[in-house]
Amino acid sequence: MIITGIKNSLKVIFDNRFNFKQLNVINMLNEKDLYPKIAKELKKMKYCFPITDEFGLRFADYKRRVDVFGCKWDSTGNDIETIGIEVKYSPNKSINLEFSEGLSQCIDYLPFFKYVGLCYRTGKIEQHLENICNVLTINRITIDLKNSVIKFPNELIECKFNNKDILKHVLLRSSMILSFYETFSKVGFKDKDIKYGEFRNGEGWLAINFKNHLQINTGYNYENNYVSLGVNLERKSTFKNIIKI
Same domain, 172 and 142: no
Helices (H), the chain: 2-28, 35-44, 95-109, 127-135, 164-185
Q: What percent of the chain has pLDDT over 70?
A: 76
Query: 3-class SS at 187?
Result: coil
Q: How far apart are CA 41 and CA 131, in angstroms?
A: 26
| 60-89: average pLDDT | 89
pLDDT in tens, 142-170: 999 888 899 999 999 999 998 888 888 88
Question: Residue 128 contacts by C-beta under 8 Å, 6 or more apart in sequence?
Answer: none
Say if residue 129's pLDDT is above 80.
yes
Per DSSP, what are the bridge partners of residue 58? Answer: 63
Same domain, 134 and 216: no
Say if residue 137's pLDDT is above 80.
yes
Query: 3-class SS at 163?
Result: coil
Task: Report whether 64 contacts 120 (CB < 8 A).
Answer: no
Same domain, 35 and 143: yes
Computed over every residue of the chain, the mean pLDDT equals: 81
Range of the domain at 195: 168-244
CA distances to 81, 115, 157, 170 from 161, in Å: 15, 10, 12, 15
Domain assignment present for residue 103? The answer is yes
Q: Residue type for 188, please?
A: G
Task: Report whether 34 contacts 143 (CB < 8 A).
Answer: yes
Per DSSP, what are the bridge partners of residue 120? Answer: 142
First to last CA, the chain: 83
Same domain, 40 and 145: yes
135-156 core/surface letters (b: 16 or more CB in 10 A; e: else):
ebbbbbbbbebeeeebebeeeb
Domain assignment present for residue 78? The answer is yes
Same domain, 134 and 53: yes
Domain assignment present for residue 21? The answer is no
pLDDT in tens, 98-126: 999 999 999 989 999 999 999 999 989 99
Domain count, the chain: 2
Same domain, 133 and 177: no
Task: Report whether 222 contacts 202 (CB < 8 A).
Answer: yes
Nearest to 214 by CA among 197, 192, 239: 239
